[in-house]
Chains A and B, each alone.
Chain A
Amino acid sequence: MATASAVIQQEVIRPQASLWSDAWRRLRRNRLALVGTIYLSFLVVVAIISVFWTPYRWEEVGVAVPYSGPSHANLLGADNLGRDILSRLMAGAQVSLIVGIGTQIVVLAVGVPIGLAAGYFRGWLDSVVSLLISIFYGIPDLLVALILVFLLGPSLTNIILAIALTRWMDMARLVRGQTLALREREFVEAGRAAGAKPAKILFGHILPNALGPIIVQATFGIPSAILFEAFLSFLGLGVPPPRPSWGSMAADGIAAYQIAPHFVLAPAIALSLTLMAFNFLGDGLRDALDPRLKR
């Protein structure tokens, strides 16, 4: 009898799971999120490989007949200057990933401290931050980023800064809200009673507890930044040529859609798949990190 109940206990009581291992378990169970994660890992690998090796050099003109379709030598065909589309697609992944992740790093670096400070100290600081946030929400982000890139000159760094400047308030608003809620909780009060300095409370107690929503928000921020870059490049104001960007490739391709549909389809499909993968991953993370939705 004793052994039987031990077996039952073993089966019923799962090992204690932390929020993160629990979230990871739930994320793996979400099939779409898993597919998205696999695709994105593949994309990262492709982007890294493309730094060292691509089937042809991506800037090399005339490796095939211009506008020629997919063939054995050029798996995805050639573009308007006879460059290999596959090689350019691989190199373009670098730009998209750098812009997507770089922008979110800047947004985190700006938005998190601002949100924490505004939510924790409140008072005039919060009023100023809230006003700034609502002003930034009222302006057309796309156009402001366009003007900024135009004024600063098109380079990868400027594109990242311009996008981050128009998107930092998403993060700041989220963190501020989280901080406002968390600062009233007992463990924060206990920290304060024990004499912890604000910096310790903010970064040691409040931030770790707000990390879930922050990660989700950052994950959703990546595709929107990639989209932004593609949009700028599509208009010819993004990453300067000859460096390939999926946006500028699509722009060149759409000009020739009647004679070479593969030229516009290749970057468009790559872009859509990447954005979709990030959105699936974001959906999955949100479900996994939000304990209220626990099934």
Chain B
Amino acid sequence: MLTRGLAIYITQRLVLIVFTVFAVSSVVFLAIHQLPGDALFNEHLHGNEYQQKLHYYGLDRPLYQQYLSFLGNLFFRGDLGESLVLKGVKIMPVVLREFQVSSEVGFVALLFTVGLGMIFGVVAAMRQNTWIDYVLSTTSVIGYSMPNFVIAAFLILLFGFWLANATGGAFYYQLGWTGRYGTIGEIWLPAFALGFPYASIVARLTRASMLEVIRQDYVRTARAKGLREQVIIIRHALRNALIPVITILAPLVIGILTGGVVIEYKFGIPGLGKEFVQSILNKDYNIVIGVFTAYAALIGLANLLVDVAYAFIDPRIRY
């Protein structure tokens, strides 16, 4: 399937991602250096110490020099500098590790989104205007009306507290994250909280397009041929019904990745989102710049993957 056209397309997109990362990091770098005050002010340093620290981080140089060395370090040495709060801590390795964690959680959330959304949508369409349809449709309106941090709050309350009390501690969700990759037991709940609102959107779309497709002639033909209902739905109807759903995947992926900011923060997951919030609150500007740069790259790459996936799912799309 990897045609020459696709290869060229991917290369173009990768170049574009590099430019986006460049633009985003430049804007954030320049904007943040306009701010009065910095993390160093928090430490109540005396005159000379403060100057020494400024010099250590290169913050006493003219802005254009700082900017050029920032770009040089980023693009030629893959270096994002050091944390302003934790002296000597290099940002790049930290951000790379968090990049992995965030993409992991985002991927599982996307599975929830697409999986649950498709199942809900197909079932609601198959049972149109029955109580099942009404229950699923209402659930999906509730789903996309609930902010993901509210869903997170409910889920933490439910699984971390009420359920534990009701079962005497037999079922208990422990907040937090162990090890580098976490465990399935730790990932599923935050991923569900992250994916559920978007699953509602997918369910609505799937239901609507299923209802359209199911009335088409070729589906009637498939029925007349005597195919089993499951085969008709999965092989014939769903495949075409999914095309409109695929077109909203790109904004969904952006939504899931940025929605991760609050979910990671609340569930104590050491990903980009948690770091982003914490570094902003700490005024650790070097990390803010680094995390923002990583987010730009992550979103660019995720969108590229989605666009390449289109070509595999919908043969009409060619690059």
Query: Contacts A143-B276, A250-B150; is A264 near B157 (CB within 8 Å)?
Result: yes
The interface residues of chain A lying within 8 Å CB-to-CB of B157 are 257, 261, 264
Interface Cβ pair total, 8 Å cutoff:
95
**In angstroms, how far is the closest chain A Cβ from the Cβ of B19?**
11
**In angstroms, how far is the closest chain B Cβ from the Cβ of A293?**
12
How far, in whole Å, are A235 and B152 apart by their CA atoms in the complex?
A: 14
How far, in whole Å, are A146 and B93 apart by their CA atoms in the complex?
A: 24
Query: Contacts A250-B150, A254-B153, A275-B147; is A147 near B31 (CB within 8 Å)?
Result: yes
Chain B interfacial residues counted at CB < 8 A: 41
Interface membership of A15, Cβ < 8 A = no
* Complex interface bits, B144-166 against A, C-beta within 8 A gives 1, otherwise 0: 11110110111011000100000
Query: Contacts A147-B28, A261-B157; is A279 near B299 (CB within 8 Å)?
Result: no
Interface membership of A150, Cβ < 8 A = yes
Task: Judge whether B31 and A151 touch: CB under 8 Å.
Answer: yes
The interface residues of chain B lying within 8 Å CB-to-CB of A236 are 281
Query: Contacts A150-B280, A151-B32, A264-B157; is A140 near B254 (CB within 8 Å)?
Result: yes
The interface residues of chain B lying within 8 Å CB-to-CB of A280 are 141
Task: Judge whether A138 and B20 touch: CB under 8 Å.
Answer: yes
How far, in whole Å, are A151 and B36 apart by their CA atoms in the complex?
A: 10
Query: Contacts A143-B258, A147-B292, A258-B161; is A138 near B303 (CB within 8 Å)?
Result: yes
Task: Judge whether A279 and B145 touch: CB under 8 Å.
Answer: yes
* Complex interface bits, B123-149 against A, C-beta within 8 A gives 1, otherwise 0: 000000000000000000110111101
Interface membership of A190, Cβ < 8 A = no
The binding surface of chain B is classed by DSSP as: helix
**In angstroms, how far is the closest chain B Cβ from the Cβ of A133?**
13
Task: Judge whether A268 and B35 touch: CB under 8 Å.
Answer: no
Query: Contacts A227-B147, A230-B147; is A139 near B153 (CB within 8 Å)?
Result: no
Task: Judge whether B262 and A231 touch: CB under 8 Å.
Answer: yes
Which residue of B is nearest A147, CB measured? B28
The interface residues of chain A lying within 8 Å CB-to-CB of B141 are 276, 279-280, 283
Partner of A275, one of B145, B152, B161: B145
Partner of A271, one of B34, B147, B254: B147
The interface residues of chain B lying within 8 Å CB-to-CB of A77 are none
Chain A interfacial residues counted at CB < 8 A: 36
**In angstroms, how far is the closest chain A Cβ from the Cβ of B274?**
11
Query: Contacts A230-B147, A235-B262, A272-B146; is A143 near B280 (CB within 8 Å)?
Result: no
Task: Judge whether B153 and A250 touch: CB under 8 Å.
Answer: yes
How far, in whole Å, are A251 and B262 apart by their CA atoms in the complex?
A: 11
**In angstroms, how far is the closest chain B Cβ from the Cβ of A290?**
14
The binding surface of chain A is classed by DSSP as: helix
Interface membership of B115, Cβ < 8 A = no
Query: Contacts A147-B31, A235-B277, A254-B153; is A140 near B145 (CB within 8 Å)?
Result: no
Partner of B142, one of A143, A150, A257, A276: A276
How far, in whole Å, are A103 and B156 apart by their CA atoms in the complex?
A: 32
**In angstroms, how far is the closest chain B Cβ from the Cβ of A278?**
8
How far, in whole Å, are A276 and B147 apart by their CA atoms in the complex?
A: 11
* Complex interface bits, A242-253 against B, C-beta within 8 A gives 1, otherwise 0: 000001001101
How far, in whole Å, are A154 and B258 apart by their CA atoms in the complex?
A: 20
Interface membership of A59, Cβ < 8 A = no
Interface membership of A237, Cβ < 8 A = yes
How far, in whole Å, are A143 and B262 apart by their CA atoms in the complex?
A: 11
The interface residues of chain B lying within 8 Å CB-to-CB of A237 are 280
**In angstroms, how far is the closest chain B Cβ from the Cβ of A263?**
10
**In angstroms, how far is the closest chain B Cβ from the Cβ of A114?**
21
* Complex interface bits, A218-237 against B, C-beta within 8 A gives 1, otherwise 0: 00000100010011001111
Interface membership of A126, Cβ < 8 A = no
How far, in whole Å, are A128 and B281 apart by their CA atoms in the complex?
A: 36
How far, in whole Å, are A268 and B146 apart by their CA atoms in the complex?
A: 8
- Give the interface of A toward B (CB within 8 A): 137-143, 146-147, 150-151, 223, 227, 230-231, 234-237, 247, 250-251, 253-254, 257-258, 261, 264, 268, 271-272, 275-276, 279-280, 283
Sampled A-B contacts (30; CB under 8 Å): A138-B300, A138-B303, A139-B296, A140-B257, A140-B258, A140-B295, A141-B254, A143-B295, A146-B261, A147-B292, A150-B280, A151-B32, A151-B34, A223-B145, A235-B262, A235-B277, A237-B280, A247-B149, A253-B153, A254-B152, A254-B153, A254-B156, A257-B156, A257-B161, A271-B147, A272-B147, A275-B147, A279-B141, A279-B145, A280-B141
